[in-house]
Amino acid sequence: MSGKHLEGNTSTITLTDLSAPPAIVTEATEPSNDPVSTLIKLRLFSACLCFATAGVNDSSIGPLIPYIMPSYGVGTDIVALVFVPNLLGWLLAAGIGSHAHAIVSPNFPLFAFTFFLTGLGQALQDSQANTYVSSLPSSQTHRFLGLIHAMYGVGLLLGPPIATAVASNSRDWRFTYAVLIGLGIVNFGIVIGAFWGMVKIGKKSEEGNGGEGKKATKNLRSALGSKVVWIMSLFYFFYLGAVISLSGWIVEFLVQIRGGELAKMGYMPMAMNGGTVLGRLFLADVTHRFGERKMVAIYIVVCIIAQVIFWQVNSIAVAGVMLVVIGFFSGPLFAAVSV
């Protein structure tokens, strides 16, 4: 199924038939005991878990960077390369999405390559989850989108304490990935259970053999020729680049520049991630009511101001407050542009 999800953690746009008329949004009238309604709830839960899993994975790398560098004997210039394969995975997913760790001690290039696989998987999963939720025939769609993206924030919130606790209390920081593997297995099982009825394996399309593939390619070409798609893609590119870079380097910055204690600074990304969860839950209606374009512009300005304060004021306490502010006001941006 998918931040960086065009949170993920999502950022890949899954293409549907661009020639089809827009769906009419109506108020959901299904009774609560209707079996279809129950299935939709299960699928919403599955979408939430998809985003939460992506969030845990994305936010765990920041607290692990101070452990990864001495383990592999690399500096910040080399360890930063782990973010590149992740981006490439998302880029590949953008092209193929419409057509469709065991714990070891690998060398650094192989370790970095695993982030490509992670990015590819998350992009496909999160984009499909985002598309499913945004297409639900309900006037509450913006709230559902806010919910699943808030769950990405919950995952971001859980990632740092998990990574920090495991890395600082175990003999090997790589055991962090045992937790991620377990969460991924649970996520996979629920996705299969919730969406199995929508999966078609070995069935020919009504348009004939190869019809769906040709349709997907046509949709992709149409999307690439759309000005709106490029604007949205660039928005997500810079938004996610800023947010992920900030969350990924918070710990190293506070330890090396602000003189914070590593064991404690590993939990600092929780401030930003907690703000993200609150922003996506409580600003969804505000953003929808006053208009996405206007509110997104306001949120971005507030985030820039908070970032400058974070940079210029030499105080860990102030840094923590600014991280909450940045998380809170940047949180709604992803779902707002997805509506």
Residues 310, 300: Cα–Cα separation, whole Å: 15
pLDDT of residue 139: 67
Q: Can you give the pTM of this predicted structure? A: 0.58
Q: For position 28, what pLDDT does the model report?
A: 39
How many other CB atoms are found less than 10 A from the CB of residue 270?
Answer: 23
- What pLDDT does 13 receive? 36
**pLDDT at 80 (0 to 100):** 75
Helices 35-72 and 108-134 pack at an angle, to 10 degrees, of: 160
- What percentage of the chain has pLDDT greater than the value 90? 9
The answer to the question of residue 301 being in a domain is: yes
Please, what is the Cα angle at 278 between 243 and 166, to 5 degrees?
A: 65
Q: Is 251 among the domain residues?
A: yes
* Within-domain flag for 75: yes
Residue 172, Ramachandran bin (φ over 0: left; ψ between -120 and 50: alpha; else beta): beta
Range of the domain at 294: 35-338
Residue 106 lies in a domain: yes
Whether 219 shows a pLDDT value over 90: the answer reads no
Residue 12 has pLDDT above 60, yes or no: no
Q: Is residue 3 part of a domain?
A: no
Long-range contacts formed by 232-237: CB under 8 A, 24+ apart: 232/6, 232/13, 232/337, 233/6, 233/13, 235/337, 236/4, 236/6, 236/11, 236/334, 236/337, 237/6, 237/11
Average pLDDT of the chain is 74
Q: What is the pLDDT of residues 165-181, one digit of tens each?
A: 777 777 777 778 788 88
**CATH no. for residue 177?**
1.20.1250.20
The total domain count for the chain is: 1
Is residue 14 in some structural domain?
no
Reported as a single tens digit per residue, the pLDDT across 90-130 is 566 555 544 443 354 556 776 677 777 777 777 777 777 87
Burial class of 321 by CB neighbour count within 10 A (0 to 12, 13 to 18, 19+): middle
pLDDT at 335 over 80: no
217 in any annotated domain: yes
- What are the pLDDT digits (tens) for 257-275? 888 888 788 778 888 888 8
Determine, yes or no, domain membership for 245: yes
**Predicted local confidence at residue 199, as pLDDT:** 64
Mean pLDDT of 293-321: 93
In tens, the pLDDT along 239-261 reads 877 887 787 788 888 988 888 88
Q: List pLDDT tens digits, range 14-71.
A: 333 333 333 333 333 343 444 447 878 888 888 888 888 888 877 777 788 888 888 8
